[in-house]
Amino acid sequence: MKYFLNILAIIICVILQLALLSHLTIANASLNLILIVMLCFVFVSNFPIALLWAGLTGLILDLVSPYYFGLYTIELVFIFLISAYLVFKIFHRPNFLVAFGFLFVFSIIFDIAFGLLTEHAFSVLFFTDALYNGAVGLIIYFLLRRYLPTEEKIKVEK
């Protein structure tokens, strides 16, 4: 049931990303909700769900995207692997400053990698994207951290 609800949330998130959030910009900065939610699941140490989000949302975005097939999947899984390694080895329970730093840096990495791989010209807008993603990501991280149990709490309760 947990995976069914996550797959349903993934489909809703992809529809929101494609239909609404790609056109809703603030200071020409667009929100990358999929990257934010995936990173927030990494922050609460829910690595299987974060990997599901990275793989499945990347695959769905690749299916509807005019760019190279696998571009979104590779980028999201790569960012998942790096962030999960850092959270698992160094930042076990990131505070809000570390979470903002992760969201900021990985938003920039995502935008630069996407620009380089699709040969699109990109400008300093990736900094405003990163600030926007970081601010919204902190809200989502706070909600996930407050309402979802971490893997550590689940193991203790069993």
Tens-digit pLDDT profile for residues 12-43: 888 888 888 777 777 777 888 889 989 988 88
The residue ranking higher by pLDDT, 122 or 37, is: 37
Q: Assign 30 to helix, strand or coil.
A: strand
* Range scoring the smallest mean pLDDT among 81-90, 112-121, 131-140: 112-121
The answer to whether residue 158 sits within a structural domain is: no
| Residue 103, CA distances (Å) to 31, 92, 96 in order | 12, 16, 10
Q: What is the 3-state composition of the chain as percent helix, strand, coil, each rounded to the nearest 5? A: 75, 5, 20
C-alpha distances (whole Å) from 48 to each of 38, 42, 104, 129 are 10, 9, 23, 27
Mean pLDDT of the chain: 83
Amino acid at position 56, single letter = L
Residue 39 domain-assigned? Answer: yes
* Domains in the chain, number: 1
Helix (H, G, I), strand (E, B) or coil at 124: coil
Phi, psi of 44 (to 5 degrees): -90, 15
State yes or no: pLDDT of 150 exceeds 60: no
Model confidence at 121, pLDDT cuts 50, 70, 90, reads low
Q: Residue 19 falls within a domain, yes or no?
A: yes
Q: Cβ-count burial of 75 within 10 angstroms (0-12 exposed, 13-18 middle, 19+ buried)? A: buried
Percent of the chain with pLDDT over 90: 15
The pLDDT > 70 percentage for the chain reads 90
- pTM score, two decimals? 0.83
User: What is the extent of the structural domain holding 82?
Assistant: 2-153
Q: Is 75 among the domain residues? A: yes
Per the model's pLDDT, the better-predicted residue between 60 and 120 turns out to be 60
CATH code assigned at 40: 1.10.1760
Mean pLDDT of 89-116: 85
